[in-house]
Structure 1
């Protein structure tokens, strides 16, 4: 479904203006250590479900950011190429985060467009 995805241009625009945007990097720690989208938080894909099930206080303690509400309009997952981000987005939808989206271009596209 297209509405479950966000483009590079849309994500870039949100990063510039949105206070409530939460970008979740679901790649492995090794991948994240090689580079990441500024401002993103790291929740590996296999822990997304348990992370989103934490109560808000635990979530904030663990990830350093406020847990998004179920109706968060700007919750974006991404991985390297799009597949794991899609898996994470589906998990979020299953948990009731109905507006969660996947940045399908992933960090691969991001780093190409950002020139790093």
Structure 2
């Protein structure tokens, strides 16, 4: 299994230039309400499997973005500290999203580095 963690710098670069990045925040709604990474969508970790099982039209209606293809090169999960993001990434990979990755630093590192 490929190393599926990405760093703050890698995520920052993707956010700056990639049109195809899909960044999924798998924290609770309460956590997201306190702050989130701009451009992310919220799918709680226990909903990842059902979300990725939706057909594309349902996914778009529910989350407001296109469902990623199985070979989506820039499909990134994150949580607060990394653990739930890793679980979600493994779940997505097991469903065929081979290049799914986890921003291991999570929102905690992001907010520290962004000075939030």
Aligned to 2:14: 14
How many matched pairs? 116
Distance in 1, Cα, partners of 2:71 & 2:6 = 17
Tell me the SS of whatever aligns to 1:10.
helix
Runs of 4+ in 1 over 4 A off after TM superposition: none
TM-superposed CA distance for 1:3, in Å, is 2.1
Aligned to 1:40: 40
Distance in 2, Cα, partners of 1:35 & 1:26 = 13
Distance in 1, Cα, partners of 2:4 & 2:81 = 15
Distance in 1, Cα, partners of 2:39 & 2:11 = 12
Tell me the SS of whatever aligns to 2:71.
coil
Distance in 1, Cα, partners of 2:25 & 2:41 = 6
Runs (5+) with no aligned partner, structure 1 = none
Distance in 2, Cα, partners of 1:100 & 1:59 = 17
Q: TM-score, normalised by structure 1?
A: 0.98
Would you say 1:55 and 2:41 are equivalent positions? no
Aligned to 1:93: 93
TM-superposed CA distance for 1:43, in Å, is 0.1
Tell me the SS of whatever aligns to 1:3.
coil
TM-superposed CA distance for 1:2, in Å, is 6.3
Runs (5+) with no aligned partner, structure 2 = none
Q: TM-score, normalised by structure 2?
A: 0.98
Distance in 2, Cα, partners of 1:94 & 1:13 = 27
Aligned to 2:3: 3
